[in-house]
């Protein structure tokens, strides 16, 4: 994400004016003042004080224009509120709707941007506004002031509804303003300038990947509780039947925000019961952050001074074992990793080989964590997520220097930022490692390694290649069943069959291999009925219960609030990475070989079932290795021709 230069203009102008005044220079009258943004102000009350006002900042984007998801959720809100407040006096759902080129929600169908209120009596007349950039903090500030001042209440909540992309790209995707978004520090700025007399009872991020410790840090003074997802959300997000929990006197003795958070988690879990989506939604007690940060900061005090290249290499070797979140290109590792996973890794560097000391540090962290993450739900993981993620940069990222600047602007823990800064410097350092040519012996592919390469390898895959009609090699399979022999060899044994759909092999990248479960990612083009083709990643799991594999979910390659389940009528085109990418092309799909189109006409006849596919004897394969080093960079070795079996 490139830094938004328009957001730097005001600061530059102020600094320039100060310099001129300090020099005693007179400013000439008659200049032109360019005004940007939204003027915020005071608003008159539109209703008597009620029990609860929930503000919904709804950046519709393509989720509404293409899928009608905002319309669906708004209808759910109407139905829920009508059940608990028939007279429409106690509960007000105040909506700011924008960010979409068109709306499928009936009250907004002839409008592009507007405000309205949902009560038990129905929907108020929409107040149409000139379109505003929902990726600007002052737009959110003005809405918060409008909602809280126009509809006073005993309790307040805020829902941020749209795409989410975590610590670096933040929240929102206003397609009317060049996909503008709110960074984490801009979310904090928007809430701080709203000047609320007291914090929100709760803030819900109905968006992907916003359940992170950095956001908790920035919002800790703005609300009592935060509800957010570490993971991508399924395409329908929250089930808004939870709003029935807004009924007055219905908290069962819990703090209001805790009661609402528990209700959101319960409805979310029930809504996706029986489906294969990964779920990770948490309820965070923001008032417990200071205590957690004290423990967290203390650990980093012990770690930061010890982290050198050797320690960063060790971290790189552990990287693939850390639980990661979000959609990513096949073969890449997530830059959003589970908070307790990374902290547990860091305790190794704090405690050295002192097992008892490490146990004490971990126990202190876990005690503080249990007070911070008061409730969570999850499914579909090899281990249970902690409820929050943290940013950990990866070297295989062309935007890393820019991302590091964005991360610094968040204002998160200075100790962790110092560690990330040092780690980023390590990741960006030149790697001079050269990989030798593999050989084949007794149906085993061998790669001799230089002595210093042993410590620089994080992961390795047997890479199997075919050739397209232009003679370009493309990757057919990347299997992680590779042995690193400490005598100096990578070893792997080629498979005789591969997994695919309807006679076509899928290019599977191994994500993780646990004792009872292995997960793969396959790059594809994907099309829902009546929608455009979209570059996606297919998640495939093999386990003791599913030895023939199961397609768990399909996620867009571009991070968003969407995660699909394979359904009848869907179409798929398998993608296979070309060994030599076309770096001169701006189209990412030019780096792939395309398979043939697969139609999922029905699910009950086996259209969507994985199958084992044997390679035609006439197909000439090549074998090499795909290596990830401790800086998270991926390298192909030279590939050798398949030898005939004796």
| pTM (predicted TM-score) | 0.86
Q: Which carries the bigger pLDDT value, residue 21 or residue 266?
A: 266
Average pLDDT over residues 12-19: 29
| Amino acid 19: pLDDT | 29
Directed axis angle between helix 414-428 and helix 400-409, to 10°?
170
pLDDT at 238 over 60: yes
Average pLDDT over residues 201-212: 97
Going 455 to 458 to 459 to 465, the CA torsion angle's sign is: negative
Lowest average pLDDT, out of 59-68, 150-159, 230-239, 346-355, goes to: 346-355
pLDDT at 4 over 50: no
Average pLDDT over residues 608-630: 88
- Distance between the two ends of the chain, CA-based, in angstroms? 54
Lowest average pLDDT, out of 94-98, 453-457, 500-504, goes to: 453-457
Would you call 77 helix, strand, or coil by DSSP? helix
Lowest average pLDDT, out of 1-5, 246-250, 538-542, 583-587, goes to: 1-5
Residues 302, 343 contacting (CB under 8 angstroms):
no
Lowest average pLDDT, out of 264-268, 317-321, 334-338, 373-377, goes to: 317-321
Alpha-carbon dihedral angle through residues 195, 197, 203, 205, given to the nearest 10 degrees: -10
How does pLDDT run across 19-47, given as a tens digit for each residue? 222 333 233 334 444 445 666 668 999 99
| Amino acid 9: pLDDT | 26
How does pLDDT run across 126-179, given as a tens digit for each residue? 999 999 999 999 999 999 999 999 999 999 999 999 999 999 999 999 999 999
Separation CA 446–CA 492 (nearest Å): 7
| Amino acid 276: pLDDT | 79
Instruction: Count CA atoms closer than 13 A to 305's CA, side-chain side.
Output: 5
Lowest average pLDDT, out of 4-13, 444-453, 616-625, goes to: 4-13
Residues 281, 268 contacting (CB under 8 angstroms):
yes
Average pLDDT over residues 520-525: 94
């Amino acid at each position: 994400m490139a830094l938004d230069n328009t957001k730097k203009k005001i600061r530059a102008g102020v600094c320039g004016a100060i310099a001129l005044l300090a020099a005693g220079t007179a400013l000439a009258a008659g200049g032109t003042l360019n005004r940007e943004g939204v003027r915020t102000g005071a608003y008159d009350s539109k209703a008597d004080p009620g029990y609860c006002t929930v503000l919904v900042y709804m950046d519709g984007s393509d989720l509404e224009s293409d899928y009608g998801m905002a319309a669906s959720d708004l209808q759910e809100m109407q139905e829920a509120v009508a059940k608990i407040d028939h007279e429409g006096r106690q509960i007000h759902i105040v909506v700011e709707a924008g960010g979409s080129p068109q709306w499928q929600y009936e009250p907004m169908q002839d409008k592009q941007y507007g405000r309205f209120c949902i009560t038990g009596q129905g929907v108020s007349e929409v107040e149409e506004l000139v379109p505003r950039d929902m990726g600007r903090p002052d737009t959110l500030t003005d809405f918060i002031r409008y909602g809280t001042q126009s509809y006073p209440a005993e309790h307040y909540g805020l829902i941020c509804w749209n795409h989410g992309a975590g610590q670096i790209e933040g929240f929102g995707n206003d397609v009317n303003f060049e996909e503008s978004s709110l960074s984490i520090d801009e979310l904090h700025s928007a809430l701080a300038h709203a000047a609320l007399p007291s914090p929100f009872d709760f803030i819900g991020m109905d968006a992907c990947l916003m359940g992170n410790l950095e956001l908790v840090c920035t919002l800790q003074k703005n609300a009592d509780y935060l509800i957010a997802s570490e993971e991508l959300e399924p395409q329908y997000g929250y089930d808004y039947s939870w709003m029935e929990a807004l009924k007055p006197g219905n908290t069962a003795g819990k703090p209001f925000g805790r009661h609402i958070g528990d209700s959101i988690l319960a409805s979310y879990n029930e809504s996706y019961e029986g489906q294969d989506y990964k779920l990770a939604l948490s309820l965070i007690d923001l008032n417990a952050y200071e205590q957690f940060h004290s423990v967290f900061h203390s650990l980093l005090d012990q770690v930061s001074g010890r982290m050198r290249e050797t320690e960063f290499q060790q971290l790189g070797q552990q990287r693939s074992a850390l639980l990661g979140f979000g959609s990513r290109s096949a073969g890449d590792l997530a830059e959003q990793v589970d908070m307790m996973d990374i902290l547990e890794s860091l305790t190794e560097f704090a405690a050295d080989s002192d097992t008892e000391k490490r146990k004490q540090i971990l126990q202190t962290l876990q005690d503080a964590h249990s007070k911070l993450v008061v409730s969570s739900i999850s499914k579909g993981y090899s281990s249970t997520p902690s409820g929050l993620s943290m940013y950990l940069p990866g070297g295989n990222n062309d935007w890393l220097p820019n991302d590091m600047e964005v991360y610094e602007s968040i204002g998160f823990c200075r100790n962790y930022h110092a560690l990330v800064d040092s780690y980023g410097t390590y990741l960006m350092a030149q790697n001079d490692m050269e990989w030798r040519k593999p050989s084949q012996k007794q149906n085993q592919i061998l790669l001799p390694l230089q002595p210093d390469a042993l410590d620089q390898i994080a992961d390795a895959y047997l890479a199997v290649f075919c050739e397209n009609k232009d003679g370009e090699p493309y990757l057919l399979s990347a299997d992680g069943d590779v042995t690193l022999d400490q005598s100096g060899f990578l070893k792997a044994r080629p498979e005789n069959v591969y997994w695919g759909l309807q006679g076509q092999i899928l290019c599977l990248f191994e994500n993780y291999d646990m004792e009872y479960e292995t997960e793969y990612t396959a790059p594809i083009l994907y099309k829902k009925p009546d929608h455009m083709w979209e570059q996606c990643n297919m998640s495939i799991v093999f386990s003791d219960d599913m030895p023939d594999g199961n397609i768990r979910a399909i996620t867009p390659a571009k991070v968003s609030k969407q995660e699909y389940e394979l359904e009848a009528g869907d179409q798929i085109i398998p993608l296979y990475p070309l060994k030599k990418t076309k770096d001169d092309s701006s189209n990412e799909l030019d780096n792939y070989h395309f398979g043939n189109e697969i139609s999922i006409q029905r699910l009950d006849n086996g259209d969507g079932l994985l199958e084992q596919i044997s390679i035609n004897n006439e197909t000439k394969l090549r074998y090499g290795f795909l290596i990830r080093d401790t800086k998270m960079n991926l390298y192909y070795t030279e590939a050798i021709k398949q030898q005939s079996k004796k």
